[in-house]
Amino acid sequence: MPTNASTSLSFGKKAAELVREIVESDPETLPPYNADAMRTIVEQCGDHRAEIVTLAPDASEDATRVGLLAHHQAILRNKRAMLVYLNERVGRVKEMRWSVGMGLPESASANMSHGERTFFTKYAETLNEYMRAVDLDLTLDLEPPQNHKIQVRCLEDHGEIFTRDGTVDLKKNTVHLLWREEAQPLIREGVLEQMDDE
């Protein structure tokens, strides 16, 4: 290989590492967005591109053509790897809309890139719009329902809430019997805790 200025070329090695990083992480978690690796891979693509431009005039030679192809494939491979990385993370970001609701916990949002936070907002909006259109909150009842009312314990002072049966004052450590549908969002927020009724 001719020694060029760009010694950073690894022909997809860095990208493979990035994919491995996300695949080997716990699917329930969202590891910090690896912005450094992404930037390095983008730079490598630029370097591959520069190689292609340098080699292009000699494309009539077989050896050069092989080189051109290798660089081109390396960029494609990097691109694929980046998309795999992003896509896997997008899946986990979406999951949060279902499991924790609209408000992202600080710990999760700190691990996201700016683009991912934007995506989360847009995804949540799209989903909300859909749920308004069908007039049904789909984030409720992710598990088959048992009872239409559930006993809950209050974990923090939340003030009064309006329910179908009138107002309920949610004071810390008080126990209430609430409608499932009304209690679920508060359980998710951590205000209430469901008590075992089995």
Shortest spacing between CB 56 and other proteins, in angstroms:
12
Q: Which is nearer to other proteins, 140 or 159 (CB)?
A: 140
Distance of CA 40 to the CA centre of its chain: 21
Core vs surface per residue 89-115: b (16+ CB within 10 A) or e: bbebbeebbeeeeeebeeebeeebbee
Q: Which is nearer to other proteins, 81 or 186 (CB)?
A: 81
Tokens found for residue 118: 């934007």
Q: Which is nearer to other proteins, 98 or 160 (CB)?
A: 98
Shortest spacing between CB 19 and other proteins, in angstroms:
14
Interface ranges with other proteins (CB under 8 A): 38, 42, 45-46, 48-49, 72, 75-76, 79, 82-83, 86-87, 90, 94, 115-116, 118-119, 122-123, 125-127, 129-130, 133-134, 136, 138, 140-141, 144-145, 147-148, 164, 180
β-pair type (159-163, 175-179): unpaired
Shortest spacing between CB 140 and other proteins, in angstroms:
7
Alpha-carbon distance of 54 to 52, in angstroms, equals 5
Shortest spacing between CB 59 and other proteins, in angstroms:
14
Q: Which residues contact 163 (CB under 8 A, 6 or more apart)?
A: 178, 179, 182
Shortest spacing between CB 74 and other proteins, in angstroms:
11
Q: Which is nearer to other proteins, 19 or 155 (CB)?
A: 19
What does each C-alpha distance from 101 to 26, 80, 91, 106, 186 come to in angstroms? 21, 31, 15, 13, 10
Q: Which is nearer to other proteins, 106 or 164 (CB)?
A: 164
Of 175, 152, 177, nearest to 163 by C-alpha is: 177
Q: Which is nearer to other proteins, 117 or 158 (CB)?
A: 117
Rg of the chain over CA atoms, in angstroms? 26
Shortest spacing between CB 157 and other proteins, in angstroms:
29
Identity at 53, one-letter amino acid code = V
